[in-house]
Amino acid sequence: MLMSRLSIMKQRTFVMMFIALFGMSDVRAQQKYDLLLKGGHVIDPRNKISAVRDVAIANGKVVAVAASINPGEAVKVVDASGYYVTPGLIDIHVHVFAGTGERGSYAGDNSVYPDGFTFRAGVTTVADAGCAGWRNFEDFKQRVIDRARTRVLAFINIVGNGMRGGTFEQDLTDMEAKPTADMALRYPGLIIGVKTAHYAGPEWAPVERAVEAGTAAKIPVMVDFGTNRPERPLAELVTRKLRPGDIYTHVYSGLRNEQLESGEVNPALWEARKRGVIFDVGHGGGSFLWRIAVPAMKAGFVPDSISTDLHIGSMNAGMKDMLNVMDKFLAMGMSLDDVILRSTWNPAREIKHEELGHLSPGAEADLVVLKLEKGNFGFVDMYGARLRGTQKLTCELTLRAGKVVYDLNGITRPDWDKLPRDYRQTGDTRWDAVTPARPARSPR
């Protein structure tokens, strides 16, 4: 009798375990996606999408973008209605070689650590613009690139010592094409270009050697043209010295004859654009003026890419962050779709990382959810002059490789009073990198 009861209990236990396991397997089978952004207005310029769409993500990749995706198939569903959903923003001009403690140096105290400035502005990829040269690039890689959650790429400086200011950046003997190209070839895809910047002398050597290194490594050159010198005019730089695909940054600075005395755009810029030279914003603390940008925009000379030139001198000044720079182009009449194009897909192509900047199925799931606020706003240039605007972008949510890394208003989170009294972490490692609680069992 006792044995019979034990046998029945074992059978019941087995059946209950079977049902539980079968039920769990069924739920897992239904949950094809880790995260579903539902009902947002997707802007994906590469794929020519600007419409309300759902975006499904699994294993850090975009799986599907469609008019309607079953929410029952996702572990986490986020209501994105009323927001814009775009690829993660790509800022190709920043300075993030922080941590050396060197004063007055962009390979030191003038730079900032990226993660504190990127995700809250929807930026998932940055390119450091020449803080390190071949002599100190690997130190930069170890200190910052390898430790950041933000994807950090780099233009390597033609100056071997990098952007350390003073005599370092004026030393022609430290501007060597071969070791610069060799370092770039050692880290293909990570070093995405060569930078020349801040040179004050009359010689063309910094540009010519940067182009030589870029040609050897098959990567573009970015030029901050330094001091305006009659011996090396802007027209010759952009129409003869630079190659198609090379990048002229600080295009609206007005410091190097980008604008003629008449107020017209320098004809050399139009000619260079026809040749395939790229023009980048590079706002910074001292490289953007309304009296240059507004006439240029009215004339149709728009930037190919929008970038910040983020550093300690711009982060709290007129520049502020990537979204603030994008807002300025909205205020000058550029459409939101075009602003997103110049902050995602265009820069991805310029740095030859065409796997980024779009939401194609299979792409890494770097995404941003943006709110377009309406109201009365003001935007200032490098000298503190203001342009009024009526639109402003706010970053609500940023995903890096399919996981939440920034959530301004908790749109991925449950209300506290709907949770158990002793609630703990509310996230899940499948979609959350901020406050994840590991599931009791493997999700798959």
Residue 386 structural domain = 103-358+378-390
Q: HSE, CB side, 13 Å, CA atoms: give it for residue 412.
A: 28
CA–CA dist 198, 158 (Å, integer)? 11
For 256-280, b/e burial (b = at least 16 CB within 10 A) is bbbbeeeeebbebbeebeeeebbbb
* The pLDDT of residue 9: 41
* The pLDDT of residue 73: 97
**Maximal C-alpha separation, the chain:** 107
* The pLDDT of residue 49: 98
Asked whether residue 2 is assigned to any structural domain, the reply reads no
Nearest to 146 by CA among 196, 96, 92: 96
CA 329 to chain centre: 17
Nearest to 74 by CA among 358, 428, 414, 415: 428
CA–CA dist 104, 433 (Å, integer)? 34
Distances (CA, A) of 428 to 434, 438, 441: 9, 6, 12
Total structural domains within the chain: 1
Is 353 in contact with 363 (CB distance < 8 Å)? Answer: no
Query: In sequence order, which residues have a C-beta less than 8 Å from that of residue 127 and are 6 or more positions away?
Result: 90, 91, 92, 93, 94, 152, 153, 154, 155, 192, 193, 347, 351
Is 93 in contact with 195 (CB distance < 8 Å)? Answer: no
CA–CA dist 248, 269 (Å, integer)? 10
* The pLDDT of residue 438: 67
Signed CA dihedral, 256, 262, 264, 270: sign only: negative
Asked whether residue 347 is assigned to any structural domain, the reply reads yes
* The pLDDT of residue 437: 76
CA–CA dist 191, 135 (Å, integer)? 14
Low-confidence ranges of the chain (pLDDT < 70): 1-29, 438-444
Nearest to 88 by CA among 322, 272, 422, 266: 322
- Here the CATH number for the domain that contains residue 174 is 3.20.20.140
Asked whether residue 22 is assigned to any structural domain, the reply reads no
425-435: pLDDT as tens digits = 999 999 999 98
CA 267 to chain centre: 31
Nearest to 197 by CA among 170, 225, 175: 225
* The pLDDT of residue 417: 97
Q: HSE, CB side, 13 Å, CA atoms: give it for residue 84.
A: 22
* The pLDDT of residue 404: 98
Is 238 in contact with 277 (CB distance < 8 Å)? Answer: yes
Distances (CA, A) of 320 to 283, 310, 330, 353, 379: 10, 8, 16, 26, 10
* The pLDDT of residue 3: 40
Label residue 245 left, alpha or beta by phi (over 0 means left) and psi (-120 to 50 means alpha): left
